[in-house]
Structure 1
Amino acid sequence: MNRSFHTNLLDNSHCQDIIKIILPIQQIEFSVPITLEDQPDLLDIEGNYINGGGGFWGSFDGDKLVGTIALINAGDGVGAIRKMFVLKEYRGKEYGIAQQLLDTLLQYCKENNIPRVCLGTVGQLQAAQRFYEKNGFSKITAEELPAHFPRMKPDHIFYEIRLETTVPTAH
């Protein structure tokens, strides 16, 4: 396979493409009871992710968006992973898209002094849970989340990873 995928920071001009990936995966593929109305953040990527010191990245096959991952900078050195979705036909190690997206987000966290990254997920997403564990995330309880962690209503399984950041601390 000689296909080349690239990952870019997304902005509000990508909202409709992002929604076309995320909603069918949530609602149809995994039967998660969530609607676009439950996720108004998808209609303002810049306001909900980028302007607060986070990011929203997409993986492209040519000019087709095939995967997403987002980071909310929750403050106090905590980041929240959101919207990690890859189209079914682009999943798996042969493409490496999920890995590329996660690596991009974690590198951003290291460079921007966000040493603790947490996420929530649902029981149906077992492959995602294995993926996070393989990448060094540890399962934690809801009580172990930072008090200011922005929880999503359907999430009931939580993970965290602690990173070494590259930003020097002030002396």
Structure 2
Amino acid sequence: MEIKLIQNEYEKEIVDLILNIQQKEFNVPITLEDQPDLLNIKDFYFESGGCFLGAFIDGKLVGTIALVKFSAEAGAIRKMFVRKEFRGKEYSIAQQLLEQLIQYSEENGLKNLYLGTVTILQAALRFYERNNFITIPKETLPDDFPIMRPDNVFCHLQLNQTK
């Protein structure tokens, strides 16, 4: 498996991966029109100092995670998706994607990571809890946190301050 920074050249693969999981697997009521970021990854994620990572097996995109840097010291995790057949401890793709995003965040001076998700994604919530994220009330999110319409559960991770 290879994890690397990806941008607009992978737009079709990214859209296919994410929309299939959101709509077909989990029946989340979200469309491509609700996610214009997917059609301009470079401007939406990289221009602010964030990133978009893709996990590849045999040249095929099997997982994504993205970081929206929304303030000097905080970022929002977005687009954490792994194809169903590549989930779990056998591959550890989600874990490796998250670890690389955390490393990128720390190297770029972030102190806090936040994310929003939906209640139905219980495995995702357990995954974040295992990685030391704590569930927080929506009211305690930073004012500039970019909330996605379907999100109803929010988490926070304070990054390692040893640097």
Aligned-partner Cα distance in 1 for 2:161–2:146: 22
Partner of 1:76: 72
2:125 is aligned with what amino acid?
A: Q
Give the structure 2 partner of residue 104 of structure 1.
100
Root mean square deviation, CA, Å: 0.9
- For residues 105 and 40 of structure 1, do their structure 2 counterparts lie closer, same or farther at Cα, with a shift above 3 Å needed? same
SS of aligned partner of 2:120: coil
Q: For residue 81 of structure 2, what is the amino acid of its counterpart?
A: F
2:156 matched to 1:155?
no
Aligned partners of 1:125 and 1:43: how far apart in 2?
Answer: 24
Match of 1:133 in 2: 129
Give 1:161 shift: 0.3
Structure 2-normalised TM-score? 0.98
Contact 1:82 1:119 in 2 (8 A): yes
**2:112 aligned with 1:116, yes or no?**
yes
Q: State the TM-score, normalized to the length of structure 1.
A: 0.93
How far residue 9 of structure 1 moved from its aligned partner, in angstroms, is: 0.2
Within the candidate set 19, 25, 34, 1:38 is matched to 34
Residue segments in structure 1 that go unaligned for 5+ positions in a row: none
Separation (CA, whole Å) in 1 of partners of 2:60 and 2:110: 30
The gaps in structure 2 that reach 5 residues or longer are none
| Structure 1 residue 120, shift from structure 2 partner | 0.2
SS of match in other structure, 2:132? coil
Q: Alpha-carbon deviations, 1:92-148, whole Å to 9, x = none?
A: 000000001000000001111111000000011000000000000000000110000
